Amino acid sequence: MRGSPPTSALRLVLRGVSHAYRDLTVLDDISLDIPPGEVTVLVGPSGCGKSTLLGIMGGLLAPARGEVLCEGAVAEDCLNPLTYVFQEFSLLPWRTVAGNVSLVLENRLPREARRTRVEEVLRIAGLTEFARAWPRQLSGGMRQRVGIARALAVRPACLLMDEPLSALDAQTRALLLDEFCELIERAGTTTVYVTHNLAEAVRLGHQIVVLSRRPGRVRHIARIERPIAGRAASDPDLLAIEAELWRMIRDDAAAADREAAGAPA
Amino acid sequence: MRRLDGRVPFRGGGFSPRALPGTAAATLIGLVLLWQAGASAGLIPTLFLPPPAAIAVALYQLAISGELWRHLGASLQRLAIGWSLGTVAGLAVGLAVGLFSVARAPGMAVVSALFPIPKIALVPLFIIWFGIGEGSKDATLAFGVFFPTVISTAAGIDAVPRGLIRMAQSFSLPFWSIVGKVILPGALPAILSGFRVTASIAIILLVAAEMIGAERGIGAFVLSAGNLYDTDNLLAGIVMLSLLGLALSWVIGRLERALLGWR
């Protein structure tokens, strides 16, 4: 993944966001600042409402209470300021790789510009030879590259990534994580990244938000100032932060797991 | 304790069906040959069941006299008009039921109430409404095709993965783009398999309607051959219906292969 165009960066501000599914409160009074041009990682035990919170940030879910505000200027060529990358890739199986990227540009760019844009983002994602392949012919890692290419095609001002690596095997995850780091650092787009994987969190995050188990509240915010490009998986400082985050989450995760199994917490 | 030495035996690969090329055609040809042999040997009374050769002769004579095309033409026209009317209306209502919550409960209530009525029972009513001519036959077919089309279209729309629709919404695609580019293509497999069902329903209703009040059409032809104890022609008519059904299913198969190549 190389050579990506300059992008705009938005700030997101969450004020007292709460959400419930029927009687089950999943998010409780979350206030948070997502600084422009930085990567904010949301971590927390299963069921703490990370993905729900991301859905609320991007306007795919209406919060029960509270609001999400965005601030900042958006470049002229930005077609979809808040853009998602999904865990399950969400590719249309009846469209080719190029067709899936083209989908989000149709009726927005003239034919020739669309073709150039599709070629450009497929090149960035390393998919040039797969432009005419069907999604079912691709591995999970390649499918998520299509998801990335599609997101980049609309020149987003804020990337919302919902466990983008969770459906992949460990090797593919490691490879794609390296590519994400490079891509995100270069693009400088505001990014919110949801994961349950703490190694991913410390590799990518400028700001790591730890949510408590359900009902999810902000429990801790860690900052890592070091540039993403310089971070290595084996860096002892990062490993120390990861261990500290794990200590924070471990008891909650175990309790959440017992709760999911139906036993008293 | 007992010893277990030697090569591990192969125990199977999960009952996976194998394609046996040619067996389908060979079975049909074999059955026809057996039938012919039984008739030739005098084991099958030919008045009650004429042999394949006699049916072939009857078909040939119908073809050269022009009778065949007269009846087939009338039936095909009714199929085309009745099926198309029912399908277009069914797709429209199915789309509304699948897409709009306000249409869902009322639409499904009407469909559930009217779908179980045997449409043949309505032919006399349609004759009163639309006359003894083409109108009542087209209406019978259209009515019979309409309900299964509504159901398969609405079910197809329900089966489109919600994640794909959320994805389209997350890229701010307009409503009708989502319908045209995500929902309809996603529902297409169910809609096309609905076509298979409605094509055979249409043939059944076609024959029934033609038996109640028609001079032309395969149904009318079969009925009048029966009245005359002309079993050669009767069976010839039935063979035409079978071939018609096969031809329709072949067309739908081609359509599926052309439109659903991505599967």
pLDDT in tens, B129-159: 998 889 999 999 999 999 999 999 999 999 9
Q: What is the pLDDT of residue A3?
A: 42
Report the C-alpha gap between B76 and B84 in whole angstroms. Answer: 12
What are the sequence ranges of the domains in chain B? Answer: 52-258
- Chain A residues in contact with B177 (beta carbon < 8 A): 106-107
Task: Provide the mean pLDDT of chain B.
Answer: 93
Average pLDDT over residues B233-262: 92
A51 to chain B, closest Cα gap in Å: 13
Q: What is the pLDDT of residue A122?
A: 96
Inter-chain Cβ pairs, chain A and chain B, closer than 8 A:
47
Strand order in the sheet with A65-71: A24-34, A11-21, A65-71
Q: Give residues with Cβ within 8 angstroms of A221, minimum separation 6.
A: A207, A208, A209, A210
Report the C-alpha gap between B148 and B94 in whole angstroms. Answer: 9
pLDDT in tens, B9-65: 888 888 877 888 889 899 999 999 999 999 999 999 988 899 999 999 999 999 999
B171–A92 CB contact, under 8 Å? no
| CA torsion through residues B236, B237, B241, B243, sign | positive
B23 to chain A, closest Cα gap in Å: 31
Domains of chain A by start residue, with CATH: 11-78+155-260 (3.40.50.300)
Q: What is the pLDDT of residue A5?
A: 46
Scanning A20-39 for CB atoms below 8 A from B yields none
Residue of chain A nearest B182, judged by CA positions: A92
pLDDT band at A2 (very low <50, low <70, confident <90, very high): very low
Q: Give residues with Cβ within 8 angstroms of B246, minimum separation 6.
A: none
B167–A90 CB contact, under 8 Å? yes
Q: Give residues with Cβ within 8 angstroms of B247, minimum separation 6.
A: none
B173–A104 CB contact, under 8 Å? yes
Residue A27, beta-bridge partner list: A19, A216
Which of A107-111, A204-208, B74-78, B257-261 comes out lowest in average pLDDT? B257-261
Instruction: Specify the CATH class of B52-258 in words.
Output: mainly alpha
H or E segment to which residue A19 belongs: strand A11-21
Of residues A60, A107, A154, nearest to B166 (C-beta): A60
CA atoms lying within 13 Å on the CB side of residue B26 = 4
Q: What is the pLDDT of residue A263?
A: 54
| pTM reported for the whole predicted model | 0.86
Centre a 10 Å sphere on the Cβ of residue B247 and count the other Cβ atoms it contains: 12
